[in-house]
A and B are shown apart, each in its own frame.
Chain A
Amino acid sequence: MKTKQFLIIITFIAFLAGCATVAPNELVNARLAYQRASEGPAAQLVPAELHKAKEALVLAEQSFLKDSDSYKTKDLAYVAQRKSEQAVALGAMAADKESKDKANADFQKKQAAIVKQGKQDLIDSEKRAADAQAQAELDKQAALKAVKDKADADFQKQQAEIVKQGKQDLIDSEKRTAEAKAELDKQAAAQAELDKQQAEITKQGKQDLIDSEKRTAEAKAELAKIAAVKEEERGLVVTLSGSVLFRSAQSTLLPSAQVKLDQVAKALPAVRARNLIVEGHTDSRGSESYNQGLSQRRADAVRDYLVQRGYPADRIQTRGMSEGSPIADNASPEGRANNRRVEIVIERMQPSNP
């Protein structure tokens, strides 16, 4: 309001002055500058500066009234213009400062809000993390409990199975034990029976041996009456003279030989269980091959006769011994007569195992 009044006054003065004379450019510019300054933010923000501009313009106007075109009026008007421009500049600077202060305040406020929000976010985050951790702990405990429960259940199940299996094993074991015991008893019985049989066999064998030996002794005694009998390593040897059994160079038994052999055959049943070896022997006359054949044929003739008389054929072997086993000197007729012979070897009986 005051500014408007001042401008009106200034205009009036200018009008009065204008009636008298034309205002210099400096003063015109000063007036315009002041008007511009007073209409801007300077009036509100830097009134002191605007007041200085006003005083400067008043001085210029007064000078103009005194001396309109003097250098002093122009200089004062110039100064007044600069003061107004300075007020404008300082007003703008104040506005900028206000803007800056406001921006800084906003910045700090926003920063504080960000920090506050950050803190809140941090608190929320920590809370969420704590909740998550607690939940994780609960989940972990639940998982552990589930695992433990499962392990317990498995353990109990396994134990039940083990007990069941143990019982079954026990039953099976008892069954097998009973079976084994039965088998053992059976085997023991069988062994006992076997032992008994073996004992019987041994006993029987011994008895048989005794009987056999007895019969052998009897047969020996009986044979000793018929022919020469002698005990040798290979058994009991009954020697029949060749002149009694065969004609010279023949293998057919003489009737007298059959009598002798009948006697021998009668004695042999006592040793029926033994093997016989019938050996034919010749003297040294004749060729070796001939004597071999002759001795074999004679042994065979004796064996055939004994078989004919009932001795088991499978227990009689024959051997043609030729002239290889003389029992007397072949140089004399008596010696050769003794060498022509048939020997019946009754093999020793092998005693049974006890």
Chain B
Amino acid sequence: MRHVFKFKIGIMMLATTVAVAAIIAGCSTAPLRTEASTSGIRAAEEVGAAEIPQASLHLQLAKEELELAKGLAAKGEKKKAASMLLRAEADAELAVALSRGDAEKSEAQSAVERVRQLRQDNP
């Protein structure tokens, strides 16, 4: 019974060791995950962020931050790079929101104007 317990303890320690080693190895060699940032930037471009001043600013920031993150990753500063990617994602998402908000605002203004015109034409 004691042998069995010792065996299990040994296996668990081994597994933990292997896991820690794998994590350490993964951290040191895993590539920078830029998919979220890249797709966010692409989404912002697709909704026309480049044409809207405020959205355009954040789109530009997102791109710069993505490049900074890549630069940090290239220097081996993966944590800083990952953290910088969070900035890029946040700016890209904000650029999308601002673009959609601008479109929505234009549509709302058009709708209000259309109602106003209709009421004016048909008092």
Contact = CB atoms under 8 A, between A and B. Distances in A.
A320 B112 CA distance: 151
B87 interface: yes
The main secondary structure of chain B at its interface with chain A is: helix
Nearest to B111: A103
A103 B107 CA distance: 10
Contacts of B66: none
A71 B101 CA distance: 31
A75 B87 CA distance: 6
B33 interface: no
Interface stretch (B1-9, B10-18, B20-28, B88-96): B88-96
Nearest to A46: B97
B115 to A, nearest CB: 5
Given A85-B94, A111-B118, A104 B105 contact: no
- Looking at A71, A93, A104, A111, which has the most chain B CB atoms within 10 Å of its CB? A93
B41 interface: no
Interface in A51-80: 71-72, 75-76, 78-79
Nearest to A97: B104
Contacts of B101: 89-90, 92-93, 96
Interface in B28-62: 58
A106 interface: yes
Nearest to A92: B101
Contact of A103 (B100, B105, B114): B114
A147 to B, nearest CB: 47
B75 interface: no
A4 interface: no
A100 B108 contact: yes
A78 B87 contact: yes
- Looking at A89, A90, A93, A117, which has the most chain B CB atoms within 10 Å of its CB? A89
Contact of A83 (B84, B90, B104, B105): B90
A106 B111 CA distance: 9
Contacts of A90: 97, 101
Nearest to B106: A96
Contacts of A83: 90
B115 A103 contact: yes
B100 A93 contact: yes
B108 A96 contact: yes
Contact of B83 (A75, A93, A117): A75
Nearest to B58: A82
B108 A97 contact: yes
A102 B4 CA distance: 73
B86 A76 contact: yes
A107 B114 CA distance: 7
A349 interface: no
A231 B107 CA distance: 156
B91 A99 contact: no
A223 to B, nearest CB: 144
A92 B122 contact: no
B42 to A, nearest CB: 18
A100 B91 contact: no
B110 to A, nearest CB: 8
Contacts of A71: 80, 83
Interface in A151-183: none
Contacts of A97: 104, 108
A8 interface: no
Contacts of A75: 83-84, 86-87
25 contacts: A75-B83, A75-B87, A76-B83, A76-B86, A78-B90, A79-B86, A79-B87, A82-B94, A85-B94, A86-B94, A86-B97, A89-B94, A89-B98, A89-B101, A90-B97, A93-B101, A93-B104, A96-B104, A99-B111, A99-B112, A100-B112, A103-B112, A110-B115, A114-B118, A114-B122
Given A97-B104, A100-B108, 7 more contacts: A79-B89, A82-B94, A85-B94, A86-B90, A96-B107, A100-B107, A114-B122
Interface of B: 58, 79-80, 83-84, 86-87, 89-91, 93-94, 97-98, 100-101, 104-105, 107-108, 111-112, 114-115, 118-119, 122
The 10 closest A-B pairs by CB, nearest first: A103-B111, A82-B90, A100-B108, A93-B101, A96-B108, A75-B83, A89-B97, A96-B104, A79-B90, A99-B108
